[in-house]
Amino acid sequence: MSLRLQINLIIATLLGLFASLLIGLQIDNTRRGVHEEVLAANVVASQLLSRVNFVYGSGGLEGMTEFLTRVGRIRANEISLYDDQNTLLYRSPPPTYKIGRDAPQWYTNLVSSPLAPKEIALPRGRMVLQADPSRATLDGWDDLRPMIWIVLASLVLANLLVYALIGRVLKPLSLLVRGLGKVAQGVYDTRLPALSGHEGRQISTAFNSMAQSVQDTAAARQEAQAATLALAENRELTQIIQTRIEAERGSIARELHDEMGQQVTAIKSIGLAIARKAEGHDDMIAQSAHLVMNCADKIYEGVHRLISKLRPLALDRFGLKDALQDMVDDWRLLHTDVNLHLTTSGDLEGLDEEVTTAVYRIVQEAVNNCLRHARASRIDVKVHATIDFLQLEVLDNGHGVLEKFLAPGHYGVLGIKERAQALEGVFELESVEPTGIRVGVKLPITRKTVGKSF
């Protein structure tokens, strides 16, 4: 049911109650008037007839009958004359006023209250006086009927007028509903025209402001979705690039290990052979041969360090746990003043290569930051694997400032964050009390599926 119809029904109900009140008041006035008129006529007739004993004295019942016949009908009363045998001798003639017509019975019951008949005793008979309110009731009904039609016509016309006026008043609401429907359908550029009236102007202004806000929000949401999609694509691209870089690093590391290692070993072997042949014959050649051997050893050490930076071969050959332990051992040899502690737990075997590489590089970058910038005396590295996640934590007791790590130009922390987010992980960087910084990473993990042979 529409608001317009609801309001119209409410007003129609109120008008109907008002019309019913008017009709009720009219009926009540008529009831009082009929009662007063009939009662007064009955009293007058009773007083008149009680004074006619002389008529009976001169003519008896016949004379009384003749007298009543001459008097005829007394208004609003009916007279009956009976002898001592209860035989009806006379009854008043029917009323001639509005003859043949009577008010409806329901109306008669509303406006008339019957009076008890009055009986006047005679020596050889009796006379009965009965009040008759039918004509007065009919007058009241004739007065009420035009009023009912006028009230009904007024009620209908008033309702039609109210319906039309309500439709005009509620026109801004219909425009508002249509506008809201368009906004709900996604037409965010919908605007309302300037509506008439103070409230109408407020409605149009408020709706247009709301629609503008919705349009701006939708545009911002689209931009955010586009930015999220672009970010996801960038992270995917970053992961692809990092994977290819790691692959190239691994390939270069293997080439250096295989080719350069063989060449350096060959140089050292040739130098050793020359030194042995030159011993006791030519000290200069022997010394040069030993110098070549020393240079070969230094080249081998440099290549070994370069290989470990490019791609830790232990990560491919022995797994994440041993690779991390090997890297920590190297740091301990280089930084004897720092207490490095590694803790691993859970199943670290069979992890996806991207995860193992990311964990290794994150630990490498985080510990290097501690060694270079934090001036820490203790660094704790914890790696814990569950069924679905791998949690990594690097905690130091140094004097690093968190704001400096987050400032532009510090690509180490940014690289750690990008590696974590590229694998849909969570990155955390926070200060700890009393001093130090904690780097935390949580990565979802998948394990390699190893085929079984039967």
Res 103 pLDDT > 60 = yes
- Give the whole-number percent of the chain exceeding pLDDT 90: 8
Instruction: State the residue range of the domain holding 381.
Output: 315-454
Res 175 pLDDT > 80 = no
Residue where one domain finishes, among candidates 137, 169, 201: 169
User: What's the pLDDT score for residue 450?
Assistant: 44
- Give the whole-number percent of the chain exceeding pLDDT 70: 87
For the domain that residue 332 is a member of, what is the CATH number?
3.30.565.10
pLDDT tens profile 63-93:
778 878 887 777 788 888 888 888 888 888 8
User: What's the pLDDT score for residue 390?
Assistant: 93
- Average of per-residue pLDDT across 226-245: 71
Res 237 pLDDT > 80 = no
pTM above 0.75? no
Is residue 121, in this structure, part of any structural domain at all?
Answer: yes
- Average of per-residue pLDDT across 427-438: 88
H helices of 281-352, in order, are 283-310, 313-317, 320-334
User: What's the pLDDT score for residue 342?
Assistant: 93
User: What's the pLDDT score for residue 211?
Assistant: 82
Residues 59, 89: Cα–Cα separation, whole Å: 14
Is residue 223, in this structure, part of any structural domain at all?
Answer: no
Res 116 pLDDT > 50 = yes
Is residue 139, in this structure, part of any structural domain at all?
Answer: yes
Res 253 pLDDT > 70 = no
- Between the ranges 164-173, 178-187, 194-203, 257-266, where is the mean pLDDT highest? 178-187
Residues 261, 256: Cα–Cα separation, whole Å: 7
User: What's the pLDDT score for residue 309?
Assistant: 66
Q: What are the Cα distances from residue 333, in Å, to 99, 296, 301, 362?
A: 136, 22, 14, 21
User: What's the pLDDT score for residue 58?
Assistant: 60
Is residue 207, in this structure, part of any structural domain at all?
Answer: no
Q: Give 235-299 as a DSSP string.
A: HHHHHHHHHHHHHHHHHHHHHIIIIIHHHHHHHHHHHHHHHHHHTTT-HHHHHHHHHHHHHHHHH
pLDDT tens profile 263-308:
777 787 887 888 888 777 777 887 887 788 888 788 877 776 676 6
User: What's the pLDDT score for residue 454?
Assistant: 30
User: What's the pLDDT score for residue 394?
Assistant: 93
Per-residue pLDDT band at 311 (split at 50, 70, 90) = low
Spatial neighbors of 51 by CB under 8 A, at least 6 apart, are none
User: What's the pLDDT score for residue 451?
Assistant: 42
3-state secondary structure of 232: helix
pLDDT tens profile 417-431:
888 888 889 999 998
User: What's the pLDDT score for residue 453?
Assistant: 35
Per-residue pLDDT band at 353 (split at 50, 70, 90) = confident
- Reduced 3-state DSSP string for 389-415: EEEEEEEECCCCCHHHHHCCCCHHHHH
And the tokens for 265? Answer: 């070993």
Q: Distance of alpha carbon 257 from its chain centroid, rounded?
A: 64
User: What's the pLDDT score for residue 310?
Assistant: 65
Res 235 pLDDT > 70 = no
User: What's the pLDDT score for residue 226?
Assistant: 81
C-alpha closest to that of 381 among 429, 416, 342, 437: 342
Is residue 251, in this structure, part of any structural domain at all?
Answer: no
Res 405 pLDDT > 70 = no
Is residue 267, in this structure, part of any structural domain at all?
Answer: no
Report the number of distinct structural domains present in the chain: 2
C-alpha closest to that of 192 among 200, 253, 184: 200
Residue where one domain finishes, among candidates 169, 191, 226: 169
Residue where one domain finishes, among candidates 151, 169, 187: 169
Per-residue pLDDT band at 177 (split at 50, 70, 90) = confident
Per-residue pLDDT band at 452 (split at 50, 70, 90) = very low
User: What's the pLDDT score for residue 68?
Assistant: 80
